[in-house]
């Protein structure tokens, strides 16, 4: 008989799903610890995180520099290094902010100004669904908290490899009117149904999909495998497309930006994906220090050759 405390693995759609109860217990403890800490501790941790990443040349730091070299070639080496440091400090602070939202549902303390809210409310009031897309910029957890606290909200996500973390994520994000939906065929059908009912949904679209679920189009000046699921959901639901971003301001709080994307959902998949990437890129170039450059966005290449992170 298998000891339940030992790591177990199963295959779900080609990915190893691991059971690691001890590891998840440690993560839960860290979430409780971060949630209880005052703001200045989070600031100190973020600086330490960025410094250690740079000094020890962590994988995240190396990936950040590679992405900045690919996407912001117009910047000098010094400017890219400064953006990298700012981006990693911002990423370090997200741990504390997400913990306070997940553990105590304290998202309101992070909210400041809301831009574009009237148009979203009008759209929903008219019975039309609103489909949000966005990127890893600012604080995605703050954006999700805002949407779930104002609307019946459905968010598509990619389940983590540690099966116990799935429960942690769902409990953290579903404290208000949020429903987390797995990114499979059943999840897509759920999103379409809810949007047809005039509700609100979101799909983060700067993540790399599988080859069969994406097309190669420019993203920040480089060809990137880009998901097509946003277009499919919009086509079948007749929802209005918006970009959402929670951007940190000078008061150390977040402004919520809700920006309509005027797009024809019936155009070619390449044209649609290129336009959506362009909208995301506009926000990223405006606030490059708040983008999560440590994500390997260009790992899959169109020609099937080695990815740029293998150096």
Task: Report the pLDDT value the prediction gives residue 65, as an integer from 0 to 100.
Answer: 98
Compute the distance between CA of residue 35 and CA of residue 29 in angstroms, rounded to an integer. 10
Answer whether residue 297 is part of any domain: no
Does the global pTM surpass 0.85?
yes
Rg (CA), the chain: 19
Compute the distance between CA of residue 223 and CA of residue 302 in angstroms, rounded to an integer. 8
Distances in Å between the alpha carbon of 228 and those of 95, 237, 255?
30, 15, 28
Compute the distance between CA of residue 98 and CA of residue 106 in angstroms, rounded to an integer. 9
Compute the distance between CA of residue 293 and CA of residue 58 in angstroms, rounded to an integer. 13
User: Which residues touch 239 (CB under 8 Å, ≥6 apart)?
Assistant: 128, 129, 130, 131, 195, 201, 233
Task: Report the pLDDT value the prediction gives residue 311, as an integer from 0 to 100.
Answer: 67
In contact, 131 and 242? CB cutoff 8 Å: yes
DSSP 3-state of 6:
coil
Answer whether residue 132 is part of any domain: yes
Residues 283-296: pLDDT tens digits?
Answer: 999 999 999 999 99
DSSP 3-state of 245:
strand
Which DSSP helix (H) or strand (E) runs through 9? strand 8-12
Task: Report the pLDDT value the prediction gives residue 159, as an integer from 0 to 100.
Answer: 84
CA–chain centroid gap for 185, Å, is 20
Distances in Å between the alpha carbon of 12 and those of 130, 161, 184, 185, 247?
31, 10, 11, 14, 35
In degrees rounded to 5, what are phi and psi of residue 243?
A: -100, 140
Compute the distance between CA of residue 143 and CA of residue 23 in angstroms, rounded to an integer. 27
Question: Tokens for 218?
Answer: 């420019």
Compute the distance between CA of residue 173 and CA of residue 289 in angstroms, rounded to an integer. 25
User: Which residues touch 44 (CB under 8 Å, ≥6 apart)?
Assistant: none
Which DSSP helix (H) or strand (E) runs through 130? strand 130-134
DSSP 3-state of 89:
helix
Averages of pLDDT over runs of 10 residues in the chain (311 residues) are 41 57 85 90 94 96 98 97 97 92 85 98 98 97 94 91 76 83 95 98 95 96 96 98 98 97 98 98 98 96 86 67
Answer whether residue 2 is part of any domain: no
Task: Domain count for the chain, please give it.
Answer: 1
Compute the distance between CA of residue 79 and CA of residue 69 in angstroms, rounded to an integer. 11
Answer whether residue 308 is part of any domain: no
Structural domain range at position 151: 13-290
DSSP 3-state of 180:
strand
In contact, 157 and 168? CB cutoff 8 Å: no
Compute the distance between CA of residue 274 and CA of residue 286 in angstroms, rounded to an integer. 18
């Amino acid at each position: 008989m298998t000891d339940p405390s030992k790591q177990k693995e199963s295959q779900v759609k080609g990915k190893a799903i691991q059971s690691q109860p001890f590891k998840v217990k440690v993560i839960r403890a860290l979430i409780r610890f971060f949630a209880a800490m005052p703001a200045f501790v989070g600031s100190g941790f973020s600086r330490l995180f960025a410094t250690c990443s740079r000094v020890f040349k962590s994988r995240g730091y190396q990936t950040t520099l590679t992405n900045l070299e690919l996407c912001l070639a117009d910047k000098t080496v010094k400017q890219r290094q400064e953006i990298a440091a700012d981006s990693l400090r911002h990423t370090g602070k997200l741990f504390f902010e997400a913990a306070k939202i997940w553990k105590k549902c304290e998202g309101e303390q992070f909210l400041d100004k809301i831009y574009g809210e009237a148009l979203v409310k009008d759209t929903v009031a008219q019975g039309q669904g609103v489909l949000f897309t966005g990127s890893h910029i600012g604080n995605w957890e703050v954006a999700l908290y805002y949407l779930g606290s104002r609307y019946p909200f459905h968010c598509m996500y990619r389940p983590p490899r540690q099966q116990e973390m799935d429960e942690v994520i769902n409990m953290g994000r579903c404290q208000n009117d949020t429903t987390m939906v797995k990114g499979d065929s059943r999840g897509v059908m759920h999103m379409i149904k809810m949007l047809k009912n005039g509700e609100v949904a979101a799909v983060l679209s700067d993540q790399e999909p599988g080859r069969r679920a994406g097309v190669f189009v420019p993203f920040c000046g480089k060809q990137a495998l880009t998901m097509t699921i946003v277009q499919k959901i919009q086509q079948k639901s007749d929802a209005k497309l918006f970009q959402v971003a929670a951007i940190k301001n000078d008061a150390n709080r977040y402004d919520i930006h809700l920006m309509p994307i005027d797009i024809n959902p019936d155009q070619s998949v390449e044209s649609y994906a290129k336009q959506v990437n362009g909208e995301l890129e506009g926000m990223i170039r405006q606030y490059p220090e708040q983008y999560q450059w440590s994500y390997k966005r260009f790992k899959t290449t169109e020609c099937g050759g080695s990815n740029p992170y293998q150096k």
